[in-house]
Amino acid sequence: MTSRKSVLVLGGSSDIGRATARAFAKAGYDVGLAGRDVGALEPDAADLRARYDVEVGVHTFDVLDTASFEGFVAGLAALPDVVISIVGLLGVQESAQSDLAQATAIMRSNYEGPALILGLFAEKFLGRGSGTLVGVSSVAGDRGRASNYVYGSAKAGFSAFLSGLRARASRGGVHVVTVKPGFVRTRMTEGMKLIGPLTVEAPVVGAAILRAVESKTDIVYVSGRWRLVMLIIKTLPEAVFKKLKF
Protein backbone atom coordinates (compact mmCIF):
# COMPACT_ATOMS: atom_id res chain seq x y z
CA MET A 1 0.00 0.00 0.00
CA THR A 2 1.19 3.52 -0.77
CA SER A 3 0.47 6.65 1.20
CA ARG A 4 0.98 8.85 -1.85
CA LYS A 5 -1.89 10.76 -3.38
CA SER A 6 -3.29 9.37 -6.61
CA VAL A 7 -4.61 10.82 -9.84
CA LEU A 8 -6.68 9.24 -12.61
CA VAL A 9 -6.26 10.79 -16.05
CA LEU A 10 -9.14 10.11 -18.45
CA GLY A 11 -7.77 10.57 -21.94
CA GLY A 12 -4.29 9.54 -20.87
CA SER A 13 -2.97 8.87 -24.37
CA SER A 14 -3.64 12.43 -25.61
CA ASP A 15 -0.77 14.91 -25.68
CA ILE A 16 -2.29 16.93 -22.85
CA GLY A 17 -3.12 13.75 -20.95
CA ARG A 18 0.46 12.50 -21.19
CA ALA A 19 1.87 15.86 -20.12
CA THR A 20 -0.54 16.05 -17.20
CA ALA A 21 0.29 12.53 -16.04
CA ARG A 22 3.97 13.39 -16.13
CA ALA A 23 3.44 16.60 -14.11
CA PHE A 24 1.57 14.71 -11.38
CA ALA A 25 4.01 11.78 -11.34
CA LYS A 26 6.92 14.21 -10.99
CA ALA A 27 5.07 15.74 -8.02
CA GLY A 28 4.89 12.30 -6.38
CA TYR A 29 1.38 11.18 -7.27
CA ASP A 30 0.56 7.60 -8.19
CA VAL A 31 -1.07 7.68 -11.62
CA GLY A 32 -3.88 5.91 -13.42
CA LEU A 33 -4.00 6.30 -17.20
CA ALA A 34 -7.33 5.60 -18.88
CA GLY A 35 -8.15 5.46 -22.56
CA ARG A 36 -9.69 3.36 -25.30
CA ASP A 37 -6.41 1.69 -26.27
CA VAL A 38 -4.61 0.23 -23.25
CA GLY A 39 -1.72 -0.81 -25.48
CA ALA A 40 -1.07 2.83 -26.33
CA LEU A 41 -0.94 3.67 -22.62
CA GLU A 42 1.59 1.01 -21.61
CA PRO A 43 4.77 2.73 -22.90
CA ASP A 44 3.91 5.94 -21.04
CA ALA A 45 3.06 3.96 -17.90
CA ALA A 46 6.42 2.20 -18.02
CA ASP A 47 8.24 5.49 -18.56
CA LEU A 48 6.52 7.14 -15.59
CA ARG A 49 7.30 4.19 -13.32
CA ALA A 50 10.97 4.22 -14.28
CA ARG A 51 11.39 7.98 -14.31
CA TYR A 52 9.54 8.92 -11.11
CA ASP A 53 9.32 5.70 -9.08
CA VAL A 54 5.53 5.91 -8.66
CA GLU A 55 2.80 3.33 -9.17
CA VAL A 56 1.10 3.59 -12.55
CA GLY A 57 -1.94 1.61 -13.70
CA VAL A 58 -3.70 1.52 -17.05
CA HIS A 59 -7.45 1.22 -17.61
CA THR A 60 -9.77 0.83 -20.58
CA PHE A 61 -12.15 3.77 -20.85
CA ASP A 62 -14.36 4.94 -23.72
CA VAL A 63 -16.09 8.28 -23.09
CA LEU A 64 -18.85 7.37 -25.56
CA ASP A 65 -19.69 4.10 -23.80
CA THR A 66 -21.69 5.67 -20.99
CA ALA A 67 -23.27 2.33 -20.08
CA SER A 68 -19.84 1.13 -18.93
CA PHE A 69 -19.17 4.03 -16.55
CA GLU A 70 -20.54 2.50 -13.36
CA GLY A 71 -18.60 -0.70 -13.97
CA PHE A 72 -15.46 1.28 -14.73
CA VAL A 73 -15.61 3.18 -11.44
CA ALA A 74 -16.51 0.08 -9.45
CA GLY A 75 -13.62 -1.81 -11.05
CA LEU A 76 -10.95 0.58 -9.78
CA ALA A 77 -8.81 -0.92 -7.02
CA ALA A 78 -9.15 2.29 -5.02
CA LEU A 79 -10.91 5.61 -5.41
CA PRO A 80 -8.32 8.20 -6.56
CA ASP A 81 -7.76 11.55 -4.88
CA VAL A 82 -7.97 13.41 -8.19
CA VAL A 83 -9.82 12.63 -11.42
CA ILE A 84 -9.03 14.64 -14.54
CA SER A 85 -11.11 14.47 -17.73
CA ILE A 86 -9.07 15.46 -20.76
CA VAL A 87 -11.10 13.53 -23.32
CA GLY A 88 -12.60 15.43 -26.20
CA LEU A 89 -13.09 15.60 -29.95
CA LEU A 90 -12.54 18.73 -32.03
CA GLY A 91 -14.19 17.28 -35.11
CA VAL A 92 -14.87 19.19 -38.31
CA GLN A 93 -17.42 22.00 -38.11
CA GLU A 94 -18.24 21.91 -41.81
CA SER A 95 -19.06 18.20 -41.62
CA ALA A 96 -20.98 18.51 -38.35
CA GLN A 97 -23.30 21.10 -39.88
CA SER A 98 -24.96 18.44 -42.04
CA ASP A 99 -23.67 15.12 -40.70
CA LEU A 100 -25.68 14.20 -37.60
CA ALA A 101 -23.28 11.38 -36.70
CA GLN A 102 -20.33 13.81 -36.68
CA ALA A 103 -22.24 16.39 -34.63
CA THR A 104 -23.39 13.72 -32.18
CA ALA A 105 -19.84 12.42 -31.70
CA ILE A 106 -18.55 15.95 -31.00
CA MET A 107 -21.32 16.76 -28.55
CA ARG A 108 -21.14 13.45 -26.70
CA SER A 109 -17.31 13.44 -26.54
CA ASN A 110 -17.05 16.98 -25.20
CA TYR A 111 -20.12 17.23 -22.99
CA GLU A 112 -22.24 14.17 -22.31
CA GLY A 113 -19.47 11.66 -21.59
CA PRO A 114 -17.15 13.92 -19.56
CA ALA A 115 -20.04 15.36 -17.54
CA LEU A 116 -21.53 11.97 -16.74
CA ILE A 117 -18.27 10.36 -15.65
CA LEU A 118 -17.22 13.31 -13.49
CA GLY A 119 -20.72 13.43 -12.02
CA LEU A 120 -20.39 9.77 -11.08
CA PHE A 121 -17.02 10.34 -9.44
CA ALA A 122 -18.48 13.39 -7.68
CA GLU A 123 -21.00 11.18 -5.89
CA LYS A 124 -18.22 8.86 -4.75
CA PHE A 125 -16.06 11.77 -3.61
CA LEU A 126 -18.93 13.40 -1.75
CA GLY A 127 -19.61 10.12 0.02
CA ARG A 128 -15.97 10.06 1.10
CA GLY A 129 -15.91 13.78 1.90
CA SER A 130 -12.83 14.66 -0.15
CA GLY A 131 -11.35 14.73 -3.63
CA THR A 132 -10.72 16.94 -6.64
CA LEU A 133 -12.34 16.77 -10.06
CA VAL A 134 -10.86 18.51 -13.09
CA GLY A 135 -12.62 19.08 -16.38
CA VAL A 136 -10.67 20.36 -19.38
CA SER A 137 -13.12 22.59 -21.22
CA SER A 138 -12.29 25.31 -23.75
CA VAL A 139 -12.37 29.02 -24.41
CA ALA A 140 -14.53 28.02 -27.39
CA GLY A 141 -17.34 27.54 -24.91
CA ASP A 142 -17.27 31.15 -23.74
CA ARG A 143 -19.22 32.32 -26.81
CA GLY A 144 -20.47 30.45 -29.86
CA ARG A 145 -18.54 31.31 -33.02
CA ALA A 146 -19.54 30.53 -36.60
CA SER A 147 -16.36 28.54 -37.20
CA ASN A 148 -16.80 25.99 -34.40
CA TYR A 149 -20.18 26.32 -32.71
CA VAL A 150 -20.87 22.58 -32.53
CA TYR A 151 -17.68 21.98 -30.54
CA GLY A 152 -18.05 25.29 -28.69
CA SER A 153 -21.62 24.56 -27.62
CA ALA A 154 -20.58 21.21 -26.15
CA LYS A 155 -17.75 22.85 -24.23
CA ALA A 156 -20.14 25.58 -23.04
CA GLY A 157 -22.42 22.90 -21.66
CA PHE A 158 -19.49 21.18 -19.97
CA SER A 159 -18.31 24.45 -18.39
CA ALA A 160 -21.82 25.13 -17.08
CA PHE A 161 -22.01 21.60 -15.67
CA LEU A 162 -18.67 22.04 -13.90
CA SER A 163 -19.77 25.40 -12.50
CA GLY A 164 -22.90 23.95 -10.96
CA LEU A 165 -21.11 20.84 -9.73
CA ARG A 166 -18.43 23.02 -8.12
CA ALA A 167 -21.04 25.02 -6.20
CA ARG A 168 -22.72 21.86 -4.95
CA ALA A 169 -19.62 19.77 -4.28
CA SER A 170 -17.78 22.51 -2.38
CA ARG A 171 -20.28 22.05 0.44
CA GLY A 172 -19.17 18.45 0.81
CA GLY A 173 -15.39 18.88 0.77
CA VAL A 174 -14.93 18.24 -2.96
CA HIS A 175 -13.15 20.71 -5.25
CA VAL A 176 -14.01 21.09 -8.94
CA VAL A 177 -11.66 22.79 -11.41
CA THR A 178 -12.50 24.08 -14.90
CA VAL A 179 -9.48 24.35 -17.21
CA LYS A 180 -9.57 26.38 -20.43
CA PRO A 181 -6.31 25.82 -22.33
CA GLY A 182 -6.91 27.91 -25.47
CA PHE A 183 -4.67 26.97 -28.41
CA VAL A 184 -2.35 24.06 -27.61
CA ARG A 185 0.19 22.50 -29.97
CA THR A 186 -0.92 18.88 -30.08
CA ARG A 187 -1.69 16.17 -32.59
CA MET A 188 -5.33 17.35 -32.51
CA THR A 189 -4.40 20.87 -33.69
CA GLU A 190 -1.76 19.77 -36.19
CA GLY A 191 -2.25 21.63 -39.46
CA MET A 192 -4.33 24.39 -37.87
CA LYS A 193 -3.26 28.02 -38.00
CA LEU A 194 -2.50 28.85 -34.36
CA ILE A 195 -1.88 32.34 -32.99
CA GLY A 196 1.60 32.33 -31.47
CA PRO A 197 1.04 34.60 -28.43
CA LEU A 198 -2.15 32.67 -27.56
CA THR A 199 -0.66 29.19 -28.03
CA VAL A 200 0.96 27.00 -25.37
CA GLU A 201 2.63 23.59 -25.31
CA ALA A 202 1.03 20.56 -23.69
CA PRO A 203 3.45 20.51 -20.70
CA VAL A 204 2.34 24.05 -19.83
CA VAL A 205 -1.24 22.80 -19.58
CA GLY A 206 -0.18 19.84 -17.43
CA ALA A 207 1.70 22.13 -15.04
CA ALA A 208 -1.27 24.51 -14.86
CA ILE A 209 -3.61 21.65 -13.95
CA LEU A 210 -1.28 20.50 -11.17
CA ARG A 211 -1.06 24.02 -9.76
CA ALA A 212 -4.84 24.43 -9.88
CA VAL A 213 -5.39 21.17 -8.01
CA GLU A 214 -2.86 21.96 -5.31
CA SER A 215 -3.93 25.61 -4.90
CA LYS A 216 -7.66 24.81 -5.18
CA THR A 217 -8.20 27.24 -8.05
CA ASP A 218 -11.69 27.17 -9.55
CA ILE A 219 -11.27 28.35 -13.17
CA VAL A 220 -8.00 28.37 -15.07
CA TYR A 221 -7.23 30.12 -18.34
CA VAL A 222 -3.88 28.48 -19.06
CA SER A 223 -2.71 31.53 -20.97
CA GLY A 224 -3.75 34.64 -19.08
CA ARG A 225 -4.12 36.45 -22.40
CA TRP A 226 -7.20 34.34 -23.16
CA ARG A 227 -9.06 35.72 -20.16
CA LEU A 228 -8.78 39.23 -21.60
CA VAL A 229 -9.50 38.12 -25.17
CA MET A 230 -12.66 36.27 -24.14
CA LEU A 231 -13.78 39.14 -21.93
CA ILE A 232 -13.68 41.40 -24.99
CA ILE A 233 -15.39 38.82 -27.22
CA LYS A 234 -18.18 38.19 -24.69
CA THR A 235 -18.96 41.91 -24.41
CA LEU A 236 -19.28 42.56 -28.15
CA PRO A 237 -22.86 43.39 -29.19
CA GLU A 238 -24.52 40.57 -31.11
CA ALA A 239 -25.00 42.81 -34.16
CA VAL A 240 -21.22 43.27 -34.31
CA PHE A 241 -20.26 39.76 -33.27
CA LYS A 242 -22.25 37.98 -35.97
CA LYS A 243 -20.44 39.93 -38.68
CA LEU A 244 -17.01 38.74 -37.55
CA LYS A 245 -15.37 36.03 -39.63
CA PHE A 246 -13.73 33.73 -37.10
Task: Write out pLDDT tens, residues 128-148.
Answer: 999 999 999 988 888 888 888
Is 152 a residue whose pLDDT tops 70?
yes
CATH of the domain at 29: 3.40.50.720
Question: Is 27 contained in some domain?
Answer: yes
Task: Write out pLDDT tens, residues 13-26.
Answer: 989 999 999 999 99
CA distance between the termini of the chain:
52
Q: CA-CA distance, 134 to 26, in Å (whole number)?
A: 18
- CB distance 150 to 140 below 8 Å: no
**221: enclosing H helix or E strand:** strand 219-221
pLDDT of residue 224: 67
**What is the arithmetic mean of pLDDT over 101-116?**
97
Question: Is 64 contained in some domain?
Answer: yes
Task: Write out pLDDT tens, residues 25-70.
Answer: 999 999 999 999 999 999 999 999 999 999 999 999 999 999 999 9
pLDDT of residue 1: 47
pLDDT of residue 230: 66
* 71 phi and psi angles, rounded to 5 deg: -65, -35
Q: Which of 168, 105, 79, 177 is nearest to 136 (CA)?
A: 177
For the chain, the domain total comes to 1
Task: Write out pLDDT tens, residues 174-230.
Answer: 999 999 986 665 565 555 555 555 566 888 899 999 999 999 999 998 876 656 676
Q: CA-CA distance, 98 to 104, in Å (whole number)?
A: 11
Is 121 a residue whose pLDDT tops 70?
yes
pLDDT of residue 187: 61
Question: Is 1 contained in some domain?
Answer: no
Question: Is 148 contained in some domain?
Answer: yes
Active site residues: 151
- CA geometry: angle 58, 62, 63, nearest 5 deg: 120
* 58 phi and psi angles, rounded to 5 deg: -120, 145
Question: Is 128 contained in some domain?
Answer: yes
Domain enclosing residue 179, as ranges: 6-242
Question: Is 116 contained in some domain?
Answer: yes
**211: enclosing H helix or E strand:** helix 202-215
